[in-house]
């Protein structure tokens, strides 16, 4: 089973600043990685798939990068609606696995 | 617009059976481009995909739940369902249903979109 490790667990950022979230796989996963945003009381929302492809309707301030074992989600200028929990997700095999999440909070 | 909505009891007694249904709108569950998945999140823990089903009825389950879990599909109602038998407190979680894109090369799910809003199921006497 591939283990996905996200860091940091919590990220404190001021509105307008840049946020960089990391996700590391326990072995190479090519680019079979997605990022989701989750707000309280809601199901996760797809942001990025294939490591770097933005999903339909996702603002351009969200970008994904990386390959192999190390991946990054960058939010270029945080808006108030971006404060949430973010999960990475590996999906090229079974079992599929998720990272433990990074909570982006207001500084 | 594609929507998924979970429904079912919020409280289940230990040793009994947990049953949830996911009602899909905006797309047919017979569409060959998709798989239909269940994901759960125990309190304070990570998301875990516990299984999925294809329109043909082909399923795949998490190894640790395989003996207790059944996922089924009802194409006439455009729904799919989860049945988890002999539950314990460890099965307390928010349960989500989600649509997954089907990777024709691997036969496995690709990314998930959209998700239902989730339903908290508590196992308690």
pLDDT, one tens digit per residue, over B36-69 is 999 999 998 889 999 999 999 999 999 999 999 9
The partner residues of B119 in beta bridges, in order of sequence, read B95
Q: By mean pLDDT, which of A11-20, A80-89, B83-92, B102-111 is the weakest?
A: B102-111
CB contact A95 to B (< 8 Å): yes
Minimal Cβ distance to B46: which of A42, A55, A99: A99
Minimal Cβ distance to A91: which of B48, B108, B116: B108
CB-CB under 8 Å, A93 with B111:
no
In whole numbers, what is the pLDDT of chain B averaged over residues?
96
User: Binning pLDDT at 50, 70 and 90, where does residue A100 land?
Assistant: very high
A88 contact partners, CB below 8 Å, separation of at least 6: A4, A6, A23, A33, A34, A35, A71, A73, A98, A99
What is the reported pLDDT for B44? 87
Taking CA atoms, what residue in B is nearest to A33? B111
What is the reported pLDDT for B74? 96
Contact A13, A103 (CB under 8 A): no
Q: What percent of chain A has pLDDT over 90?
A: 93
Question: A31 preceded by cis ω (within 30°)?
Answer: no
Distance, CA of B34 to CA of B11 (rounded, Å): 30
A57 contact partners, CB below 8 Å, separation of at least 6: none
What's chain A's Rg over C-alpha atoms? Answer: 13
From the CA of B125, how many Å to the nearest CA of chain A?
25
What is the reported pLDDT for A90? 96
Residues 9-38 of B with CB under 8 A from A: none
């Amino acid at each position: 089973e591939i283990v996905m490790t996200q860091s940091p667990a919590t990220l404190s950022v001021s509105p307008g600043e840049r946020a960089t979230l990391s996700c590391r796989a326990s072995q190479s996963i090519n680019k079979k990685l997605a990022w989701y945003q989750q707000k309280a009381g809601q199901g996760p929302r797809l942001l990025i798939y294939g490591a770097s492809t933005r999903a339909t309707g996702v603002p351009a301030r969200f970008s994904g990068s990386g390959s192999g074992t190390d991946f990054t989600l960058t939010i270029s200028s945080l808006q108030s609606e971006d404060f949430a929990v973010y999960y990475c997700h590996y999906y090229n095999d079974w079992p599929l696995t998720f990272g433990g999440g990074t909570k982006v909070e207001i500084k | 617009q594609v929507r998924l909505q979970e429904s079912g009891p919020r409280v289940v007694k230990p040793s009994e059976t947990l049953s949830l249904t996911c009602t899909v709108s905006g797309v047919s569950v017979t569409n060959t481009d998709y798989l239909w998945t269940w994901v759960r999140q125990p309190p304070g823990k990570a998301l875990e995909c516990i299984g999925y089903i294809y329109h043909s009825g082909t399923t795949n389950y998490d190894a640790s739940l395989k003996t207790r879990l059944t996922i089924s599909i009802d194409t006439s109602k455009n729904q799919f369902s989860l049945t988890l038998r002999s539950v314990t407190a460890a099965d307390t979680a928010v349960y989500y249903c989600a649509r997954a894109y089907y990777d024709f090369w691997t036969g496995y799910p690709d990314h998930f979109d959209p998700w239902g809003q989730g339903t908290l199921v508590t196992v308690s006497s």
